[in-house]
Structure 1
Amino acid sequence: MTFAISRRAFTIGTALLAAGVGATRAFAQQAFFRIGTGGTQGTYFPVGGIIANSISATGPAGVEGLIATANASNGSVANINAIQSGASESGFTQSDVAAWAYTGTGLYEGKPKVEDLRLIATLFPETLHIVARADAGIKSVADLKGKRVSIDEPGSGTIVDARIVLEAYGISEKDIEAEYLKPGPSGEKMRDGGLDAYFFVGGFPAGAITEIASSMNITLVPVSGPEADKILEKYPFFSKNTVPADTYKGVGATETLSVAAQLVTSAKQPEELIYNITKSLYAEDTQKALAAGHAKGKAITVENAVTSAGIPFHPGAEKYFREVGALK
């Protein structure tokens, strides 16, 4: 098995050619299935790598004839754009961004609807983190005013949610010294004294935050109270969430919000292919690999797969979930 890791791609496996008449998972030719993830220090990238490894032909539960790769990207919006353009077969996205893309609302207001966007599965909750220097005097979101704050790169789901949170507290990007960096570079700049705080939406514990917490004192800024209630009322894809104490070194329990991480694809993808990929994703060997490989892997269950479905399921995924009784 080839297992090559780079900043641009997490490429797993060498395909096995489909062979044998009547093989239930056989394809007439090799299928290449690209999965857009996120930054290399976020949650999407490592989880995507485990999924790609597991569903590839070389995985114990893999789909015969399939080569799956997990590619680093700018996140939700970039992944949906890649699916729409045909540059990727699938991708990770936040549930809010997926719903906006499909309906042409929110972030996609005034833009063409991505009507072919389809859900394979909801994976795990993604937590809104606002990471701050412990000595920056930032106790609430309101304290971000006038501070040097990274809200992530354009094209990410994080930047969308950061703007929603800032707006709820009466803060615009003009009220902060905005930077547009991924979590890794944000942490490095914060450690070097060039940044006071940064936003990140992803499953905890996030590697980039764990790393920065090991080298300097940080805090997590809570998103709670009437402002959070206002967000929940206006944007029902958000949920209340709490980061447990000591998830990150020296940081107490912090109330915040979360959205759902989803694996999405295009309606143009063959039903049989997506059916087999979905079946492989929830096979016993894949489930074991996910549970052992990442803290959020244990949340990737059939029960969670059919929650927060703000867009239609792909027929192949729907067929599988109906077979196992997850959808009625």
Structure 2
Amino acid sequence: MNIKKWAVAATAVLAFAGAAHAQQFFRIGTGGTAGTYYPVGGMIANAVSQPGKIVATAQASNGSLANVNAVASGSMEAGFSQSDVATWAYTGTGAFEGKPKVADLRMIANLYPESIHLVVKKGSGIKTVADLKGKRVALDEPGSGTLINARMVLAAWGVKESDIKPDYIKPNQAGDKLKDGSLDAFFFVGGAPAGAIAELASSGVGIELVPLTGAPADALRKQNPYFAVDTIAANTYKDVAQVQTLAVGAQLVTSAKIPAETVYEITKAMYSEQAQKALQAGHAKGKFITRENAVQGVGIPFHPGAEKFYKEAGLIK
């Protein structure tokens, strides 16, 4: 290779290295592929990716707890988390009692309500949480927010984990087991409609959702203000009646170590007109991902990049 050609080739390599350096990879931890985090995370990643600048990708994970830990360790730049889990991680309370606080955890946005689903077969005779005693109940995998909430719900209704036959599996596996009769009920916390439950309801297996109402639900809300009263409308799932339950907020969190400019660009892109249209068209929960909802129910500090955007938009002072 002559000197001139070598110089051109070297310049090209250096230019490519510079471009690669300028391009930021932004990995977003979501949840299981049959839940709500995964498809919504994919839509957000598409909406905020900017050619040559930011490449955002949604990655399947075990859910809230796993995502918060991944953000803390730097193996993900951001992740979906239930509002309760994010607050516990930052304050070292709840599921993080006795563990080091995730002091660098920062908020990008509150996204949408996540309903607590308690799914049973039609005609099972399970009408309240108390009826789960002696039954085979799936509580989701370790690392999921669902497992934590399921334990809280059981306790509020006076049901110990030793009173049930627990199974720690994802909702799509739980759906299969409910279908074949090897499971009586399963919990799932996520935006309705959740893929695994919609699939189950459409498969011809008659299902019902057990309400979470009355004194135990009120007491749970009083102790844990991040729980909200929630309604899953009739026919959200095929032939399933309306049910009143509880919900937590789904939130997008990141680390204080991520540059402010990156988070600013991502937040701005997520609430652009184009992204908003795509989110609303892409999933039933997309219509909740609005600027106004972004700043509701926030229990940890905003990332400076997100804060800059919300201040410019007049949403926070």
- If the length of structure 2 is used for normalisation, what is the TM-score? 0.93
- The CA distance in 2 between the partners of 1:135 and 1:79, in whole Å, is 37
Q: How does 1:147-166 map onto structure 2 within 5 Å?
A: 147-166=135-154
Decide whether aligned partners of structure 1 residues 248 and 234 sit closer, same or farther in structure 2, where only a CA change above 3 A counts: same
2:247 is the alignment partner of 1:258: yes
Judge conservation of contact 1:27–1:65 (CA < 8 Å) in 2.
no
Amino acid at match of 2:247: S
- The CA distance in 2 between the partners of 1:131 and 1:90, in whole Å, is 30
Which digits, 9 at most, give the CA deviation of each residue in 1:120-143, with x for residues without a partner? Answer: 000000000000111321011111
What is the deviation of 1:18?
11
Amino acid at match of 1:156: S
Q: Secondary structure at the match of 1:204?
A: coil
Amino acid at match of 2:107: L
2:313 is the alignment partner of 1:320: no
What is the deviation of 1:224?
0.2
The unaligned stretches of length 5 or more in structure 1 are 1-16, 20-25, 59-63
Asked which structure has the greater CA Rg, the reply is 2
- The CA distance in 2 between the partners of 1:35 and 1:320, in whole Å, is 20
**Quick one: percent identity of the two aligned structures?**
61
- The CA distance in 1 between the partners of 2:17 and 2:115, in whole Å, is 40
Q: Of 23, 32, 38, which aligns to 1:30?
A: 23
What is the deviation of 1:192?
1.1
Aligned to 1:3: none
Q: How does 1:85-164 map onto structure 2 within 5 Å?
A: 85-164=73-152
Amino acid at match of 1:129: H
2:35 is the alignment partner of 1:42: yes
What is the deviation of 1:27?
9.7
Which digits, 9 at most, give the CA deviation of each residue in 1:38-58, with x for residues without a partner? Answer: 000100000000011111125
Which digits, 9 at most, give the CA deviation of each residue in 1:154-187, with x for residues without a partner? Answer: 1000000000000001111111010001111110
Which digits, 9 at most, give the CA deviation of each residue in 1:93-151, with x for residues without a partner? Answer: 00000000000001110000000000000000000000011132101111111111000
- The CA distance in 2 between the partners of 1:168 and 1:27, in whole Å, is 52
2:263 is the alignment partner of 1:274: yes
- The CA distance in 2 between the partners of 1:173 and 1:202, in whole Å, is 22
Judge conservation of contact 1:116–1:268 (CA < 8 Å) in 2.
yes
Q: Of 50, 75, 86, which aligns to 2:63?
A: 75
Amino acid at match of 2:97: E
How many residues in Structure 1 have an aligned counterpart in Structure 2? 301
Aligned to 1:53: 46
- If the length of structure 1 is used for normalisation, what is the TM-score? 0.90
- The CA distance in 2 between the partners of 1:178 and 1:135, in whole Å, is 21
- The CA distance in 2 between the partners of 1:199 and 1:259, in whole Å, is 14
Q: Secondary structure at the match of 2:187?
A: strand
What is the deviation of 1:265?
0.2
Which digits, 9 at most, give the CA deviation of each residue in 1:53-74, with x for residues without a partner? Answer: 111125xxxxx51111100000
- The CA distance in 1 between the partners of 2:309 and 2:237, in whole Å, is 37
Aligned to 2:276: 287
Judge conservation of contact 1:18–1:30 (CA < 8 Å) in 2.
no
- The CA distance in 2 between the partners of 1:67 and 1:176, in whole Å, is 45
The unaligned stretches of length 5 or more in structure 2 are 1-15
Judge conservation of contact 1:131–1:197 (CA < 8 Å) in 2.
yes
- The CA distance in 1 between the partners of 2:37 and 2:123, in whole Å, is 30
Q: Secondary structure at the match of 2:22?
A: coil
Amino acid at match of 2:216: E
Judge conservation of contact 1:118–1:313 (CA < 8 Å) in 2.
yes
2:54 is the alignment partner of 1:66: yes
- Greater helix proportion: 2
Amino acid at match of 1:220: L
Aligned to 1:221: 210
Taking only aligned residues, the RMSD between alpha carbons, in angstroms, comes to: 1.5
Judge conservation of contact 1:18–1:65 (CA < 8 Å) in 2.
no
Aligned to 2:72: 84
- The CA distance in 1 between the partners of 2:161 and 2:43, in whole Å, is 36
Q: Secondary structure at the match of 1:153?
A: coil
- The CA distance in 2 between the partners of 1:134 and 1:150, in whole Å, is 17
